[in-house]
């Protein structure tokens, strides 16, 4: 379901049509939109502060110069605020860019000196970087053309630099945006669509000392190689940067979001556009403005920028914290959501999930519990004696998710299910992982590996899988958990000292055996009690020196199903007419009795069956504990 709304809203309350792609910026506490009229290409503008519902718009107002002459464009305009002054750059019929500034009192536009205004094949993009306004456009022969404007001072008027031609070519309007690193150092970034039929969106970073150069690594802004059917526009706000474009080969309006140092998979706005959409971040929302298909009416769609998104909820978290300080939602027997484990058949006790791994991760799960053994010579996920799906499927789905969401981290617990040789199984695990080794934290093929260096920080593991190895087999990487006491309400397993000599450990509650001879309500009460007891213990870690060095797991799961006797994981999770464990945990996490939310308030992994029940709220209730 799209988070973008409202649908197909005409901002000015009347049918305003446009000949080219619109432009948008924030000026004096309002969002300003600039566009050209059909037929005569006269420029118009309008603005809204969005302080009423629905927003009240001023305009449309025709743009005129100091002599009252209409401003006319031959392509999409660009508009930007720098130093509380509104700037307009657009292509005139002569094929060059011109520059105007706005007077808020008179409502007139004054042309600024640009003696060598570049010849272009498109409109432009503007952004402020290190106190100057940078302009980029599709120049002659489709080469990227750029220049910068230095604002006026008491002793000198504003002035443009020379025009520079980059060695890359673009298929339509390129775009600029600025990011800040953890030290508030600005980086100027360029986005453009490849000058070929692929439409692949490319990105590189500006270095004032070396001129334009490729970012490291040189790659499209989204690892899935987002593709545009035209140009690309961008905007930056308090909560990230945003990129809008039309889907390649289609007219759908897509938006990608840059958080946690990475672009995330594009969101469909459920809208379609003629030309390039404009995008602008304002207050707690991001707005996308575009010309609709058919009759090109000016339309607007918006969504919140403050809402935490389940597919990349880790993006804005503090990189420096240990992974053990976060509250992480996970699933138990994560692969047991296939048709081989339906709750309606004789193997009803085997099903613990309804979603596949990929969709669990999309919904916010970040801990995956995998139990493996051989089915013939292939490595399969099992629940008990029941084979579920190939391990390769789990890896593919996890890799695909991390490609789309490189700010995220997945902890994957791997253990042998049932009888067999750990030596043979882990040799096969190593073979399976090797092809995707770049996705694994601390990966090594050397005997003994890099050694256990300690529970990692989020910075070390973004875009990676942390292997939790539940075996005595000496595997060359990951976190070694050599024992896992069975059916235990509170177990402690020591880890090797970290690289600083600090002792670390794993603690967990994994009491999963329910009594088939007792009423379901008693089994539910027992599981709720052991879960809450361990939850109260998790709180205390926040007040000790163990915080960040103690990775904890609190399981909500239990079952006693043997063929058609006892209780299934689904009955324990949902309650089967009673208050199930999931609803109980949801109420706990939403209660005022918990410590104030924030990183470290409930450190550890909450491992669940069917966590999308009830009403898909439980996963979010868990990961939202990380946000004050």
Q: In a 10 Å sphere around its CB, with 0-12 CB exposed, 13-18 middle and 19+ buried, how is residue 113 labelled?
A: exposed
Beta strands 97-102 and 109-111 are: antiparallel
Q: What pLDDT is attached to residue 224?
A: 53
Q: How far is the C-alpha of 581 from the C-alpha of 557, rounded, in Å?
A: 8
pLDDT at 296: 87
pLDDT reported for residue 369: 97
Calculate ∠ Cα 259-304-59, nearest 5°: 115
Which residues of the chain fall below pLDDT 70? 1-2, 6-8, 182, 213-225, 338-349, 447-451, 543, 561-564
Q: What is the pLDDT of residue 562?
A: 66
Contacts 24+ apart (CB under 8 A), 163-169: 163/116, 163/117, 163/118, 163/139, 164/211, 165/139, 166/212, 167/143, 168/143, 168/144, 168/192, 168/195, 168/202, 168/204, 169/141, 169/142, 169/143, 169/144, 169/195
Token duo for residue 40? 């005569």
Q: Calculate the average pLDDT of the chain.
A: 89
pTM: 0.79
Give the DSSP letter of residue 95.
S
Measure the CA–CA gap between 185 and 182, rounded to whole angstroms.
7
Note the pLDDT of residue 491: 97
Element spanning 247, H or E:
none
Q: Which domains does the chain have, with CATH numbers?
A: 5-307 (2.120.10.70), 323-626 (3.20.20.190)
């Amino acid at each position: 379901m799209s988070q973008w709304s409202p649908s197909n809203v005409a901002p000015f309350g009347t049918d305003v049509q446009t000949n080219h792609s619109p432009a948008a910026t924030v000026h004096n506490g309002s969002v300003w939109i600039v566009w050209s009229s059909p037929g005569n290409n006269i420029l118009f503008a309008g603005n809204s502060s969005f302080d009423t519902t629905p927003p009240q718009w001023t305009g449309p107002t025709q743009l005129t110069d100091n002599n009252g002459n209409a401003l006319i464009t031959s392509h999409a305009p660009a508009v930007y605020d720098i130093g509380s002054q509104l700037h307009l750059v657009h292509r005139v019929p002569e094929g060059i860019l011109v520059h105007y500034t706005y007077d808020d009192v008179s409502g007139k536009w004054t042309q600024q000196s640009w003696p060598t205004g570049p010849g272009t094949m498109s409109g432009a993009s503007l952004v402020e970087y290190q106190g100057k306004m940078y302009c980029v456009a599709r120049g002659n022969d489709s080469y990227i053309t750029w220049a910068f404007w230095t604002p006026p001072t008491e002793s000198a008027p504003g002035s443009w630099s020379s025009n520079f031609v980059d060695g890359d070519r673009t298929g339509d309007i390129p775009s600029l945006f600025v990011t800040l690193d953890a030290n508030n150092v600005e980086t100027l970034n360029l986005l453009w669509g490849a000058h070929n039929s692929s439409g692949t969106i490319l990105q590189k970073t500006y270095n004032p000392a070396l001129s334009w150069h490729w970012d490291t690594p040189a790659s499209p802004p989204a690892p899935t190689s987002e593709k545009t059917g035209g140009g690309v526009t961008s905007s930056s706000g308090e909560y990230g940067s945003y990129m809008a474009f039309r889907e390649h080969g289609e007219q759908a309006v897509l938006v990608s979001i840059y958080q946690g140092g990475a672009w995330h998979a594009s969101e469909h706005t459920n809208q379609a556009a003629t030309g390039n959409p404009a995008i602008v971040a304002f207050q707690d929302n991001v707005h996308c403005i575009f010309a609709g298909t058919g009759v090109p009416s000016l339309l607007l769609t918006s969504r919140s920028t403050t809402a935490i998104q389940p597919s990349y909820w880790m993006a804005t978290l503090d990189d420096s914290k240990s992974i053990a300080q976060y509250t992480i939602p996970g699933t138990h027997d994560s692969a047991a959501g296939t048709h081989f484990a339906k709750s309606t058949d004789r193997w009803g006790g085997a099903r613990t999930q309804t979603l596949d791994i990929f969709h669990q991760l999309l919904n916010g799960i970040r801990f995956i519990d995998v139990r493996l053994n051989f089915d013939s010579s292939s490595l399969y996920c099992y629940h008990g004696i029941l084979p579920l799906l190939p391990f390769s499927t789990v890896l593919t789905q996890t890799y695909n998710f991390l490609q789309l969401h490189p700010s995220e981290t997945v902890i994957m617990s791997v253990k042998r299910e049932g009888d067999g040789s750990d030596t043979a199984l882990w040799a096969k695990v190593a073979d399976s992982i090797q092809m995707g080794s770049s996705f694994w934290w601390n990966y090594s093929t050397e005997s003994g590996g890099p050694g256990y260096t300690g529970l990692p920080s989020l910075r070390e593991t973004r875009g990676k899988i942390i292997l939790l190895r539940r075996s005595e087999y000496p595997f060359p990487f990951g976190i070694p958990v050599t024992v896992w006491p069975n059916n235990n309400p509170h177990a402690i397993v020591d880890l090797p000292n970290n690289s600083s000599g600090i002792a670390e450990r794993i603690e967990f509650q994994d009491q999963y055996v329910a009594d088939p001879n007792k009423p379901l309500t008693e089994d539910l009460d027992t599981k709720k009690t052991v879960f809450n007891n361990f939850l109260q213990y998790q709180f205390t870690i926040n007040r000790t020196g163990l915080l960040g060095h103690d990775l904890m797991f609190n399981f909500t799961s239990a079952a006693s199903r043997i063929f058609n006797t006892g209780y299934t994981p689904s009955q324990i999770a949902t309650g089967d007419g009673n208050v199930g464990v999931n609803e109980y945990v949801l109420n706990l996490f939403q209660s005022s009795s918990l410590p104030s939310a924030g990183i470290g308030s409930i450190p550890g992994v909450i491992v669940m069956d069917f966590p999308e029940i009830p009403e898909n709220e439980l996963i979010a209730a868990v990961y939202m504990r990380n946000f004050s």
